[in-house]
Each structure stands twice: as C-alpha cells, then as structure tokens.
Amino acid sequence: MSNKELYQLTNVGKTFQGPTEKIEILRGVNLSVAEGESVAVLGASGSGKSTLLHILGTLDSATKGDIRFAGRDLNSLSQGFKAVLRNKEIGFIFQFHYLLPEFNTLENVAMPAIIGGHSRQKAMEMADEAVGMVGLGKRKDFKVTTLSGGERQRAAIARAILLRPRVVLADEPTGNLDERNGRTIAEVLAALNAELGMTLVVVTHNADLADSMSRRLELRAGELYAQS
C-alpha cells in the first residue's frame, strides 16, 4: 500500500430536503484513503453509507466540505469531467449486477472499454483477461442469464476492473448472495486488491468481506468512526 493519498475528505456534510424539514445524512465526515488501501464502511440502514459512496464516486455531491480525489477538487469539476473520471478512474460494483441479458459474459464485461473508445477487438481482449482474473474464464461465452448469482456478481467485478481504475467502490456487493457465494466475492476482491494494488472502498454488512479489508470504519447517524 502506498502512503500517497487518493481520497481526502474534510468536514463533509450532506443534507436532503424532506417534506417538512431538512434531513442531515452526513455530518462532519473526515476521511483519508491511501492508494492501494482497502476500506470497509459498516453501519445500520439509513446511516449514510451509500450516500458517502456515491459522493466518493461523483454520483452525488456533498452539501458542504472539501473532497479531493488524487489532488483534484471534486466540487469544482464539471459534470462532463466527472463522467470521464467515472469511466476511466473509478470502478463501481453494486448490489445488483446490472448486466445486459442479451449479451454474453465477455460482451458485458467489455462494455466500459467499448464506451471508452477502444476497438471491439481490443475491448474483448481486455475483457478476456478480466474474466480470467475473477475465475470466469470457462463461462465467458455464456449468456449472463445462465450464470449463477455469484457468477453474475463476479462478472460485474470484472467489468468494474476492466479499465484498471484507481479505485473500486462497492455498495453491498454480497447483499443478494448466499453465505458461500458471499465468501467467494470477498476472496476475489481481496485478491484483486493484493495483486493489482487497486484501492477498494466497500460498503457492506458481510463480516467476511469487512474482515478481509485493511481498515474498518463505521457510520453512525451520519458520523464516521474508526472501528477496532
């Protein structure tokens, strides 16, 4: 793990307007994530975990505070530049895989490269390597509708790492899986972090996944705490 900071959040807050009053989702969040670090964020439902992850991924904006990614002030970036950043430097894994049923595994995984301007041949070569890294080489030509839940989530991980982003943000990646498949996903993510040095920030309720990360944090009522 590098000592170089990838994320630096200072006094970050997020407020939504409710029907009758403002609702504070995040308050005074201070967070530093180093290059190559793996971080688990735990907390009860409604504690602000997904909101924090969306802010880190530029899918949402903070109401206040300073957010820097690789030294860049995210608050000052245009929506267009944020979109470029998301495609090239930030990978996402969600609880639901969002794979396209009309395509096979390899084609689904190749999508970010095709969208990013790579030729189809190059994109498929990159996808072939990525599916191999998550142990799906023998399923690469299968339609995703024929894959198991765990295999679909591994395909989603392969898609997230395809362009070798600087960070992968995962929102409950084992939430729809049974215990055995959840453990497999935890092992895959930990291996990718170790082998590629890819920074991971994972929101999870899964104890195995949280334990495989180098640091555990907890959100309580919108405030972030270190967990021993």
The pLDDT assigned to 3 comes to: 67
pLDDT at 174: 85
| pLDDT band with cut points at 50, 70 and 90 for residue 228 | low
**pLDDT at position 206:** 82
Which amino acid belongs to residue 17? Answer: Q
Show the domain range for 192: 5-226
pLDDT averaged over every residue in the chain: 91
Distances 219 to 43, 118, 187, 224 between C-alpha atoms, Å? 5, 39, 24, 5
Q: Is the pLDDT of residue 209 over 90?
A: no
DSSP 79-138: HHHHHHHHHHHEEEE-SS----TTSBHHHHHHHHHHHTT--HHHHHHHHHHHHHHTT-GG
Cβ neighbours around 117 below 10 Å, total: 9
pTM over 0.75: yes
Give me the amino acid identity at 204.
T
Domain CATH for 33? 3.40.50.300
Structurally, how many domains does the chain consist of? Answer: 1
- What would the mean pLDDT of 40-48 be, rounded to a whole number? 88
**Residue among 162, 176, 166, 177 nearest 201 (CA):** 166
Distance in Å from the first CA to the final CA of the chain: 20
Contact 162, 127 (CB under 8 A): yes
Q: Whole-angstrom Cα distance, residue 138 to residue 30? A: 43
